[in-house]
Structure 1
């Protein structure tokens, strides 16, 4: 497999890739966009930092591409939407620069409390202005942390060591984790009102853009100090500049900006109470080495074993999770495939319901496996776990997932149901049986059946009359088709019954037509799992 290292990552990371049997590594630093288009024609993976742009055009030129790995956190230089459409995994390395960014954040905090950069500048200019640079202490002050992920957590540790009270806002922060980290989980308005220092550590999304704007700043204490080493745009720069001018915000420290590089004529450059750095969050030797090795390991895992970590466009599955989820992934894929083949072509909705132990697991990967299974026989595109949700949506099919706490007769149960344009439901139910966790089909369209979820199935709905099993057996026998096993089911005696026959080989077209034309058979579907 061919790996293009388009931007310079650590030498250890490149060496790791070169050590892998079967890998061809091409280093092409500083390539022009035209050169990149040529280089990607036969690559299976691309490693980048922030320089090379992985655009839709680049993705179109790379038919073999499976994964783009970003040695760093932000993926602004990768067209994630286009990659997802094409089934390309996009990964980053969120943990490699955690300590570096946390330490830079705390450097800005200290410079916001004690104006060291400003004092140093006057010293180099030959001045001695002791009285001009009085500061404040961190001790016993309240630090508000917006976003308590890895970096926010590391900042909190350092703040506690300085004797600060730490309050945190994060919609996903569990009370137990807040208690373990010795921080107080609060609402955003409370954090704004009570904090002497505020630092943001959220991703930039539609929900977080301008999270700290004019209205938010009005809720803050007069003399608050603000810091952003996460993403430009979380703090609204025009609002911050106005508040810095009035003194409502006493000081600020920024490493990221709404537009980068920061414009030469930006007012931020001229304000005396702001410390600015040029996006240095991950700029330590240790961080660069860590993210280079980490992205090399992640790319290797994807290409060699399908293990995906730190993906930004699909659920990540590490080795331990894959071991637990593997049987569910297999079952889900087969249920999706089965339902697609027993349903009409025009589908309005795909509904997935989980019962049992799987409810307590992260079933996102299983959901994607079901979607992939449903699409794999009907989509003209190469379907995988990355692009399955996109392709489903492009067909106008709404996806719905439910985790049920109601009782079932099985330890685990997955139901895949589709609803056609007329509102008619078509569904299949499956479970895992035995120590080997073998996938089994235990229900089709409301009828209880029990058959192995593998191979080739003949699904029949027939009149509930004596001799039907024999007639089907005779038809298949004449066609030279051997029956592996069979499951029978009915709701009311004398009406219709379901027969699911697992066969060793596919009946020829003539035999299938004969079965479909049988006057006692209402439905006949040949299914390949």
Structure 2
């Protein structure tokens, strides 16, 4: 039987499924395993199944003498040294597509929550501060229907957002590495998108070219009435610049599911701002999606170990 290392418990019965095929060494805690635990356990492993919180670098790959496959339970793979893994003949697999709709739903949830001040309203009631029944200027928010949505990146999630935005009769513009003829939206340059969007949504991968893509200069190009929404990777946004933008009113607000440091530090200035909605990396967090991700991650791993083509391989 093959020997595999698994760095997190997974939803559903997929660890039991894996155990029927392989000898499994499992990290039992909900917190990420220390790097030393991975180094101490990976030497004789044929495969490893990880999540986005585990960094698989050259040191770990060099320790894994028998490693044939790295299966990540995520759509992103910036936590893996892909180039070095491939140089060692190791196949890297991931779980795209299945989490597209769940993440797109969350993005629209963030848009609605920050624009219509839903979280502020909930907090007001819970604190017992709702003193007046109703009046015309109470807690006014911003329309979503009929506004301009700017999507940065036009992969699977970007395309899913286009479908949802159509239901809100939004004008949809996007910027991507190339024009997508099949997408019913207007292709524009990044500056135009920032200057004309009411809602700027980030859906790009994290890589060298997208690190701090949204910086101080680009935040200043946005409308003062606009909102920034990020459910991709925290490092795509210069968080210090964003905090300054929110504090000084360069933009109206933000909806954030990801952060430069996760969990978000308790002293983060973001926690003191009313014009931002914060969620703890919930993009794919539905029962249906997370169980399907577990199925794909396990099957990817096993297919490679059997010498077959995985469902999704990082190219």
Going from structure 1 to structure 2, the CA distance change for 1:224 and 1:35 (only over 3 Å counts) comes to closer
Contact conserved, 1:5 with 1:26, CA < 8 A, in 2? Answer: yes
Q: CA deviation at 1:75?
A: 3.1
Query: Gaps spanning 5+ residues in structure 2: where?
Result: none
Q: Which structure is higher in strand share?
A: 1
Please show how residues 505-524 of structure 1 align to structure 2 within 5 Å: none
Contact conserved, 1:8 with 1:49, CA < 8 A, in 2? Answer: no
Q: CA deviation at 1:231?
A: 0.8
Is the aligned partner of 1:138 residue 2:137? no
CA distance in 2, matches of 1:29, 1:82: 28
Please show how residues 369-384 of structure 1 align to structure 2 within 5 Å: none
Match of 2:162 among 140, 156, 160: 156
Could you tell me which residue of structure 1 aligns to residue 10 of structure 2?
A: 9
State the Cα RMSD in Å: 2.1
Could you tell me which residue of structure 1 aligns to residue 182 of structure 2?
A: 177
Q: CA deviation at 1:255?
A: 0.9
SS at match of 2:277: strand
Could you tell me which residue of structure 2 aligns to residue 297 of structure 1?
A: 299
SS at match of 2:234: coil
Contact conserved, 1:9 with 1:49, CA < 8 A, in 2? Answer: no
Could you tell me which residue of structure 2 aligns to residue 48 of structure 1?
A: 50
SS at match of 1:210: coil
SS at match of 1:243: helix
Could you tell me which residue of structure 1 aligns to residue 101 of structure 2?
A: 99
Going from structure 1 to structure 2, the CA distance change for 1:170 and 1:76 (only over 3 Å counts) comes to closer
CA distance in 2, matches of 1:238, 1:11: 39
CA distance in 2, matches of 1:172, 1:308: 28
Please show how residues 35-434 of structure 1 align to structure 2 within 5 Å: 35-128=37-130, 131-174=137-180, 176-178=181-183, 182-312=184-314, 315=315
CA distance in 2, matches of 1:37, 1:261: 24
CA distance in 1, matches of 2:109, 2:115: 10
Contact conserved, 2:299 with 2:310, CA < 8 A, in 1? Answer: no
Could you tell me which residue of structure 2 aligns to residue 24 of structure 1?
A: 23
TM value normalised by structure 2: 0.89
Q: CA deviation at 1:154?
A: 1.1
SS at match of 2:112: helix
CA distance in 1, matches of 2:208, 2:172: 26
Q: CA deviation at 1:2?
A: 2.1
CA distance in 2, matches of 1:154, 1:113: 20
Q: CA deviation at 1:126?
A: 0.6
Q: CA deviation at 1:292?
A: 0.4
Q: CA deviation at 1:68?
A: 0.8
Q: CA deviation at 1:252?
A: 0.6
Q: CA deviation at 1:190?
A: 1.8
CA distance in 1, matches of 2:253, 2:36: 45
SS at match of 1:233: helix
Query: Gaps spanning 5+ residues in structure 1: where?
Result: 316-529
CA distance in 2, matches of 1:32, 1:123: 42
Structure with bigger RCO (C-alpha 8 Å, 6+ apart): 2
CA distance in 2, matches of 1:211, 1:6: 31
CA distance in 1, matches of 2:173, 2:80: 34
Q: CA deviation at 1:207?
A: 1.6
Q: CA deviation at 1:51?
A: 4.4
Moved >6 Å (runs of 4+): none
CA distance in 2, matches of 1:247, 1:38: 50
Contact conserved, 2:78 with 2:206, CA < 8 A, in 1? Answer: no
Going from structure 1 to structure 2, the CA distance change for 1:76 and 1:29 (only over 3 Å counts) comes to farther
Going from structure 1 to structure 2, the CA distance change for 1:135 and 1:8 (only over 3 Å counts) comes to same
Contact conserved, 2:253 with 2:276, CA < 8 A, in 1? Answer: yes
Q: CA deviation at 1:77?
A: 4.1
Q: CA deviation at 1:134?
A: 0.7
Contact conserved, 1:16 with 1:293, CA < 8 A, in 2? Answer: no
SS at match of 2:149: strand
Contact conserved, 1:7 with 1:52, CA < 8 A, in 2? Answer: no
SS at match of 2:312: coil
Q: Give deviations 1:391-431, integer Å, cap 9, x for gaps.
A: xxxxxxxxxxxxxxxxxxxxxxxxxxxxxxxxxxxxxxxxx
